[in-house]
């Protein structure tokens, strides 16, 4: 009989504990609006990553804490959010923005790393909102992009491509023309610098002269811009002169379709003149020097951009060596 009483007492204790536990599960111990049973048992959520993958995660919360992860959202709010959030993680989707800020401040999706509604650019919300540093013309600039837009500035590059430097350069996603050279980033041969062409004359050998001596000089054209060089010293046939400081920089459009840029060089003799008839009358001009076979002009292309490229051109009147490179400004 004594054993029966003991067993009975044990059963009563177990039943009482069970009912108390069941009652506890249905209670909301921390007053966060979520019953203890749900907090302890947890729920399933899905996380959508910027690379296109999806993670299924089982999560739960602390029934004794209104805000388990301390992110400013109660456990009940995280449970009630469409798709549901992880109440034990301040940043459910790990995109660099807390769940609270995504919902309360930026209106982005806290379980999607990339919140663009239609065309996703593949860039996490945290990167777009917090921004990143780029270097433009040697200076550091902090830039940001719109987390709801595939291409914030409407150029040919997505925000991800501008951040990642897919074309070889990290550019400003809020500016179509990062370097301000009137060429949009997606079409610019170098979107963070204004590229100019530097032509350096190295030496010239006079092979033949229209007169006793010649004083050569050149017209250099790159794209739509041109310049006239200084006159060389007077030379006799067979003489060679080194040109140590004959450097000329010409600006060109940085549109990538203009590369490789065309270079045209004309040669003249300032010591010998001839007359020509024009609609305005007779004029006196300097005689041309043949530096390309029997032609007084040479046309070629700078094909080794952005490296230095050395050229040799030769005609019946002379031989010219020159070097072409770039200047970034």
Q: Would you state the pLDDT for residue 40?
A: 87
The answer to whether residue 118 sits within a structural domain is no
Question: Does residue 283 sit in the same domain as residue 247?
Answer: yes
The rounded distance, in Å, linking the Cα atoms of 93 and 193 is 37
Q: What percent of the chain has pLDDT over 70?
A: 91
Alpha helices in 75-144, H assignment, sequence order: 75-80, 99-100, 125-130
Q: Comparing C-alpha atoms, which of 181, 320, 214 is closest to residue 263?
A: 320
For residue 283, the domain's CATH number is: 2.60.40.150
Stretch 311-317: mean pLDDT: 98
**Do 51 and 151 have their domain in common?**
no
- Domain assignment present for residue 283? The answer is yes
> pLDDT per residue over 14-38, tens digit each?
544 444 444 434 466 678 788 888 8
Shared domain check, 155 and 60: no
Judge whether 145 lies within some domain.
Answer: yes
Does residue 98 sit in the same domain as residue 132? no
Degrees, nearest 5: CA angle 134-136-139: 90
The answer to whether position 117 is within a domain reads: no
Overall number of domains in the chain: 3
Q: For the chain, give the percent of residues with pLDDT over 90.
A: 78
Res. 236: pLDDT tops 80 = yes
Task: Tell whether 202 and 246 lie within a shared domain.
Answer: yes
Mean pLDDT, rounded, for 70-89:
89
pLDDT bin (cut points 50, 70, 90) of residue 81 is confident
Residues 280, 272: contact at Cβ < 8 Å?
no
């Amino acid at each position: 009989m004594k054993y029966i009483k003991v067993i009975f007492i044990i059963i009563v204790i177990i039943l009482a504990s069970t009912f108390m536990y069941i009652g506890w599960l249905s209670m909301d111990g921390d007053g966060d609006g979520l019953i203890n049973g749900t907090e302890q048992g947890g729920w399933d959520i899905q996380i959508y990553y910027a690379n296109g993958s999806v993670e299924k995660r089982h999560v739960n919360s602390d029934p004794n804490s209104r805000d388990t992860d301390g992110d400013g959202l109660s456990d009940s709010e995280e449970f009630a959010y469409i798709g549901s959030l992880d109440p034990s993680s301040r940043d459910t989707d790990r995109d660099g923005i807390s769940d609270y800020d995504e919902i309360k401040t930026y209106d982005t999706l806290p379980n999607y790393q990339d919140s663009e509604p239609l065309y996703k650019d593949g860039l996490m919300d945290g990167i777009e909102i917090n921004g990143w540093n780029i270097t433009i013309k040697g200076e550091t600039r902090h830039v940001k992009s719109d987390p709801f837009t595939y291409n914030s500035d409407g150029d040919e590059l997505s925000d991800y491509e501008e951040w990642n430097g897919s074309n070889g350069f990290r550019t400003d996603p809020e500016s179509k023309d990062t370097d301000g050279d009137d060429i949009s980033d997606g079409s610019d041969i170098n979107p963070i610098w204004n590229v100019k062409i530097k032509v350096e004359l190295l030496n010239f050998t006079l092979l033949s002269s229209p007169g006793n001596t010649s004083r050569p000089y050149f017209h250099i054209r790159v794209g739509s811009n041109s310049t006239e060089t200084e006159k060389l010293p007077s030379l006799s046939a067979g003489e060679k002169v080194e040109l140590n400081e004959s450097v000329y920089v010409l600006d060109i459009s940085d549109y990538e379709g203009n590369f490789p840029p065309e270079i045209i060089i004309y040669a003249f003799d300032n010591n010998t003149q001839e007359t020509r008839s024009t609609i305005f009358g007779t004029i006196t001009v300097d005689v041309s020097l043949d530096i390309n076979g029997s032609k007084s002009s040479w046309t070629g292309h700078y094909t080794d951009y952005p490296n230095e490229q050395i050229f040799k051109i030769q005609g019946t009147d002379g031989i010219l060596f020159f070097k072409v490179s770039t200047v970034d400004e």
